[in-house]
């Protein structure tokens, strides 16, 4: 009892024991993109097919050794090479359309190239033109002197392979200067914030690749380079995906870009656990949807596996860009397997107007992009208007001009049985998502509906986080009663929203936390077990999961 020593009115706060549970968020989306180091460059060449290229950044992996180089000097510079890297005078001279002459007499050698001649030690070069010394300073001195005295003013057009070969071939590691970096994850809540994120990514990209000096040049030139950056295929897919999220009702997005040597790299790197999908490990309560617009099917599969491992995030995945039947998607190994339904796949890709075309219209005005970001936005819109229990289907898609191809009812049947959701054009009714199935449709029909899986994610996350107060509390009937009361109140609200089947709350769910679920051996081990059953709108049957609280945290099993 309080110690009242003087007359007056006193206030005493008494904990009623009720701990209201606030429903967990359902529609915050995580977006991951991978962009290649060789996205663009001022060094140009034609590939072996005669197609114009704009690529080549320091450390890029050259994929077409036969490509004709427009500017040999810029390519050498972009590779981070110098004259000390030359290993063969014959191959170096060939870049100028010349042949060297090397004469060795005793311990001296004379090298003639073009109009110049240089005397060096015979230990530095042999009569066939091979560089013998490993002293880069001596090699640089030799090459620089030959270049000056020989009046070697202009390289002859050559191939990428010949340029690299002249500087030692295998001994020159093209990957040595590779730059890998990440931008984000960053929280963005509107298109303006997202535009700022993309601009920051661009500046990081330019600085990492070309150094700080790249941002001190002509602003008009930098803006033109930014347009090039936005039109890199991987960047464009990512940007349009996040933009599509906002255009279709999305409110909060977390964006992350990984720049690497190859846009097809795995998203899980044991050597760098904080890179790729590992970057999201610290976002335990912040994200509920994940998409990787335009990533390849192996990376999409990694996203699905990551979501199933976490069990609190739902993956929205892109189907193949090319037109395929449901049978072909499965036959070609493009259908990720799922037993627990933590992801959904959508076809076809959608068409958008390119907002990043330059004044010369050098980029396509209409582009086909992956649908995942647009679909994630529709998830968020439906969550806000109707609730997470409403299937995100029969909903119109905004921000697009059409579909990559149309799917009819007969074709959709083959997709539907495999758990692949179709986006269809219904003419006057618009383009709509016409499917609500997860990727567990074939393997585990209990979880074949998107709204059921996402409802369970919300309920489980709400109870798990909202019951943390119980950790370290005395584990007896009083605690069990408080937990039952709190969870019952929350599930009553869920039932009242129409998310559960049943004319009464008792028919829709049950909560059990008593001596039966908490025998003495469990109590002695520090556990408190709660058994909960809910009857989702579909399927109309109880699915039971258990939540355990102990001094190390919480766990859920279904």
| The pair of three-digit structure tokens given for residue 487, joined into one six-digit string | 């969870």
- What does the buried/exposed string (b/e) look like for 450-463 if buried means 16 or more CB atoms within 10 Å of the residue's CB? bbbbbbbbbbbbbb
How many CA within 13 A on the CB side of residue 355? 12
State how far the Cα of 503 lies from the Cα of 112, in Å rounded to an integer: 98
39 or 476, which is more confident: 476
Residue 46 has pLDDT above 70, yes or no: no
Could you give the strand order of the β-sheet that contains 350-353, starting from the edge strand earlier in sequence?
A: 366-369, 350-353, 402-403
- pLDDT over 60 (residue 214): no
C-alpha–C-alpha distance, residues 467 and 117, integer Å: 84
Token representation of residue 342: 């933590």
Whether the predicted pLDDT of 407 surpasses 60: yes
Are the beta carbons of 162 and 91 closer than 8 angstroms?
yes
Choose the weakest-confidence range: 210-224, 337-351, 461-475: 210-224
Lowest mean pLDDT among 148-157, 254-263, 453-462, 473-482: 148-157
What mean pLDDT comes out for the span 89-115?
Answer: 83
User: pLDDT-derived band of residue 421, with 50, 70 and 90 as boundaries?
Assistant: very high
For the ranges 133-137, 307-311, 319-323, which has the lowest average pLDDT? 133-137
Q: Tell me the C-alpha distance between 168 and 165, whole Å.
A: 5
Task: Say yes or no to pLDDT of 215 above 80.
Answer: no
Span 9-23, average pLDDT: 70
- CA pair distance 212, 384, nearest whole angstrom: 44
Is the per-residue pLDDT at 189 higher than 90? yes
The 3-state DSSP class for residue 432 equals: strand
Q: Is the pLDDT of residue 249 over 70?
A: yes
Average pLDDT over residues 519-528: 92
Instruction: Kindly indicate the confidence band of residue 294, based on its pLDDT and cuts at 50, 70 and 90.
Output: very high
pLDDT(17) > 50: yes
Give the residue, 97 or 388, on which the prediction is more confident: 388
**Does the pLDDT at position 541 exceed 60?**
no
φ/ψ (deg, to 5) at 313: -135, 140
Instruction: Pick the closest to residue 130 from 158, 74, 171, 97 (CA basis).
Output: 171
| Residue 62 confidence (pLDDT) above 50 | no
Report whether pLDDT(228) > 90: no
SS3 295: coil
Tell me 155's DSSP state. Answer: P
Residue 292: what pLDDT?
Answer: 98
Q: How confident is the model at residue 71 (pLDDT cuts 50, 70, 90)?
A: low
Cβ–Cβ under 8 Å, residues 435 and 422:
yes
Peptide bond into 539 cis (omega under 30): yes
User: Could you tell me if 530 and 513 are in contact, meaning their C-beta atoms sit under 8 angstroms apart?
Assistant: yes
Sign of CA dihedral 406, 389, 329, 233: positive
131 pLDDT above the threshold of 90:
no
The span from the CA of 152 to the CA of 144, in Å, is 10
Average of per-residue pLDDT across 529-554: 69
- Which tokens sit at 403? 């579909």
Residue pLDDT, tens place only, 387-405: 999 999 999 999 999 999 9
Closest residue by Cα to residue 420 from 371, 352, 351, 369: 371
Euclidean distance between CA atoms 75 and 180, whole angstroms: 20
Is-contact 283 31, C-beta < 8 A? no
174 pLDDT band, cuts 50/70/90, is very low
Q: Calculate mean pLDDT across residues 487-507.
A: 94
Residue 120 is predicted with a pLDDT of 84
pLDDT value for 179: 64
Residue 550 pLDDT: 58
* Tokens, residue 408: 């009819």
Q: What confidence score (pLDDT) does residue 30 get?
A: 98
Percent of the chain with pLDDT over 90: 55
d(CA 105, CA 471): 87
Domain segments of the chain: what residues?
Answer: 29-39+178-435, 62-171, 471-557
Q: What is the 3-state secondary structure (H, E, C) of 510-535?
A: EEECCCCCCCHHHHHCCCEEEEEEEC
pLDDT of residue 224: 81
Q: What is the pLDDT of residue 74?
A: 64
Instruction: With a cut of 80, say whether residue 347 has pLDDT above it.
Output: yes
Q: Residue 551 carries which DSSP code?
A: T
Average pLDDT of the residues in 147-168: 72
List CB contacts of 497: < 8 A, sequence separation 6 or more: 387, 389
Count of CB atoms situated within 10 Å of the CB of 546: 15
Give the pLDDT confidence score for residue 13 in this predicted structure: 64
Q: What is the rounded CA–CA span in Å between residue 344 and residue 505?
A: 30
Residues 6+ apart with CB under 8 A from 471: 549, 550, 551, 553, 554
CB atoms inside a 10 Å sphere around CB 163: 24
Instruction: Judge whether residue 219 has pLDDT over 80.
Output: no
CATH 3.40.50 at 29-39+178-435, yes or no: yes
Look up residue 59 and give its two tokens. Answer: 């450390």
Of 55-64, 195-204, 479-488, 536-545, the range with the lowest mean pLDDT is 55-64
Q: How many of the other CB atoms lie within 10 Å of CB of 532?
A: 23
- Encode pLDDT of 507-519 as tens digits: 999 999 999 999 9
Identify the pLDDT of residue 374.
98
Give the number of residues written for the chain. 558
Higher-scoring residue by pLDDT: 88, 362: 88
Alpha-carbon torsion (408, 411, 416, 422), positive or negative: negative
Of residues 60 and 259, more confidently modeled: 259
Rg (CA), the chain: 32
Residues 69 and 80: their CA atoms lie apart, in Å, by: 16
Q: How far apart are CA 276 and CA 179, in angstroms?
A: 15
Residue 510 exposed, middle or buried by CB count within 10 Å (0-12, 13-18, 19+): middle
Phi and psi torsions of 193, nearest 5° = -60, -40
């Amino acid at each position: 009892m309080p110690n009242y020593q003087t007359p007056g009115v006193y206030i005493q706060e008494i904990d009623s024991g009720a701990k209201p549970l606030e429903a967990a968020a359902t529609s915050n989306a995580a977006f991951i993109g991978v962009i290649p180091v060789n996205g663009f460059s001022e060094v140009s060449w034609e590939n072996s097919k005669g197609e114009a290229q704009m690529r080549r950044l320091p450390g890029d992996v050259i994929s077409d050794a036969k490509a004709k180089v427009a500017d040999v000097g810029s390519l050498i510079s972009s590779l981070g090479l110098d004259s000390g890297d030359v290993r063969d005078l014959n191959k170096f001279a060939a870049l100028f359309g010349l042949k060297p002459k090397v004469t060795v007499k005793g311990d001296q050698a004379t090298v003639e190239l073009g109009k110049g001649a240089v005397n060096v030690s015979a230990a530095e070069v042999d009569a066939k033109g091979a560089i013998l010394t490993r002293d880069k300073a001596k090699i640089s001195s030799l090459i620089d002197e030959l270049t000056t005295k020989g009046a070697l003013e202009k390289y002859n057009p050559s191939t990428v392979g010949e340029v690299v070969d002249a500087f030692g071939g295998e001994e020159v590691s093209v990957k040595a200067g590779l730059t890998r970096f990440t931008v984000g994850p960053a929280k963005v809540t509107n298109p303006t914030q997202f535009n700022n994120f993309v601009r920051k990514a661009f500046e990081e990209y330019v600085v990492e690749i070309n150094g700080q000096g790249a941002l001190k040049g002509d602003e008009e030139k930098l803006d033109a380079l930014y347009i090039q950056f936005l039109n890199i295929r991987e960047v464009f897919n990512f940007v349009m995906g996040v933009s599509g999220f906002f255009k279709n009702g999305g409110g909060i997005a977390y964006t992350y870009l990984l720049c690497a040597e190859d846009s097809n790299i795995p998203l899980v790197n044991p050597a760098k656990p904080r890179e790729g999908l590992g970057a999201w490990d610290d976002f335990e309560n912040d994200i509920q949807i994940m998409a990787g617009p335009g990533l390849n099917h192996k990376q999409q599969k990694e996203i699905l596996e990551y979501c199933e491992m976490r069990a609190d995030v739902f993956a929205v995945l892109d189907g193949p860009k090319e037109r395929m039947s449901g049978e072909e998607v499965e036959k070609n190994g493009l259908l990720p397997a799922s037993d627990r339904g933590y992801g959904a796949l959508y076809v076809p890709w959608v068409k958008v107007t390119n907002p990043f075309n330059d004044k010369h219209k050098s980029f396509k005005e209409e582009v086909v992009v992956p649908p995942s970001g647009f679909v994630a936005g529709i998830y968020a819109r439906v969550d806000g208007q109707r609730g997470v229990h409403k299937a995100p289907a029969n909903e119109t898609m905004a921000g697009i001009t059409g579909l990559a191809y149309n799917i009819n009812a007969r074709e959709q049947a083959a997709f539907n049985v495999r758990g692949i959701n179709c986006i269809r054009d219904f003419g006057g009714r618009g383009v709509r998502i016409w499917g609500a199935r997860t990727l567990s449709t074939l393997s585990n029909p209990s979880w074949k509906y998107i709204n059921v899986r996402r409802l369970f994610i919300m309920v489980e996350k709400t109870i798990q986080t909202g019951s943390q107060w119980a950790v370290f509390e005395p584990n007896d009937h009083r605690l069990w009663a408080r937990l039952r009361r709190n969870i019952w109140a929350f599930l009553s609200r869920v039932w009242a929203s129409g998310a559960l089947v049943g004319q009464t709350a008792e028919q829709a769910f049950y909560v059990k936390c008593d001596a039966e679920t908490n025998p003495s051996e469990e109590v002695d081990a520090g556990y408190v077990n709660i058994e909960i059953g809910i009857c989702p709108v579909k399927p109309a049957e109880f699915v039971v999961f258990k939540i355990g609280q102990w001094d190390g945290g919480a766990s859920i099993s279904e």
